[in-house]
């Protein structure tokens, strides 16, 4: 691919990924509740999920999503249910300084699963790539190198954007020094998680 095409792809993705959406809302909510370190598996899963959607789009596999629409619908329903469950746990999380604010979802595999559910449960991501990629490359002449270039560019943009959101949320979390502030943060996070679930369900 040409450098110009990759630049257009990167800039477009930068604008799209930087805008608050279900994935960003879920990410910020998790950081506020669990802290930055525990959210790393969640972030990794989000990036892997994006790479999967990009691969589907680049490989011309949109027909897979149509053929297996029931599977994607089930995945979306499970994802929404899981996010709502996490929101419920956040809402009623203890606020004591010595308490574990949110035990559910803190194990690395649980955080990873949550990130995959949020990303793969949002087919809007593939629609975005399906709309953008054909304008940059001829899919009939697509090779492994072009796919790798797009994937690396995508990861560079997402790592930058998501890390910035996560760091901002982590900074806000450090300001929470009393029970009332922690309760407000927990319930704000819960509301954001419900919003993320609603946004995914509406797509």
Is 194's pLDDT higher than 60? yes
pLDDT for position 153: 93
**DSSP letters spanning 27-60:** HHHHHHHH-TGGGHHHHHHHHHHHHHHHHHHHTT
Distance CA 139, CA 189 (A): 41
Mean pLDDT for the chain overall? 74
End-to-end CA, the chain? 32
**Between 1 and 165, where is the model more confident?**
165
Contacts of 78 (CB under 8 A, 6+ apart): 117, 121
Share of the chain above pLDDT 90, in %: 11
Residue 74 pLDDT exceeds 80: no
- pLDDT of 145 > 70? The answer is yes
Q: Which pLDDT value is given to residue 114?
A: 81
pLDDT digits (tens, 9 = 90+) for 97-136: 444 443 344 688 888 888 888 888 776 777 778 777 776 6
Q: What is the model's pLDDT at position 71?
A: 64
Mean pLDDT to the nearest integer, 65-82: 66
Q: What is the 3-state secondary structure (H, E, C) of 1-31?
A: CCHHHHHHHHHHHHHHHHCCCHHHHHHHHHH
Does residue 72 surpass a pLDDT of 80?
no
Cα–Cα distances in Å, from 1 out to 54, 118, 126, 153, 187? 16, 30, 20, 11, 46
Question: Could you tell me which of 111, 105, 121, 102 has the C-alpha nearest to residue 197?
Answer: 121
C-alpha 131/C-alpha 23 separation (Å) is 20
Q: Is it the case that residue 63 has pLDDT exceeding 60?
A: no
- Residue 172: pLDDT band (50, 70, 90) is confident
């Amino acid at each position: 691919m040409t450098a110009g095409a990759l630049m257009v792809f990167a800039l477009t993705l930068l604008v799209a990924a930087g805008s608050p959406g279900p994935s960003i809302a879920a990410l910020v909510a998790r950081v506020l509740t669990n802290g930055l370190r525990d959210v790393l598996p969640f972030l990794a899963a989000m990036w892997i999920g994006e790479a999967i959607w990009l691969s589907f789009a680049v490989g011309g596999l949109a027909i897979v999503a149509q053929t297996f629409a029931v599977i994607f619908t089930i995945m979306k329903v499970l994802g929404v249910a899981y996010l709502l469950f996490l929101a419920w746990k956040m809402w009623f999380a203890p606020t004591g300084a010595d308490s574990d604010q949110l035990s559910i979802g803190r194990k690395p595999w649980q955080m990873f699963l949550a990130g995959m559910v949020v990303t793969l449960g949002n087919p809007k991501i593939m629609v975005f790539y399906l709309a953008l990629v054909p304008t940059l490359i001829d899919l009939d002449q697509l090779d492994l190198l072009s796919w790798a270039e797009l994937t690396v560019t995508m990861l560079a943009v997402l790592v930058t954007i998501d890390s910035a959101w996560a760091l901002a949320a982590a900074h806000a979390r450090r300001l929470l020094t009393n029970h009332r502030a922690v309760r407000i943060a927990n319930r704000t996070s819960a509301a954001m998680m419900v919003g993320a679930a609603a946004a995914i369900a509406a797509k």
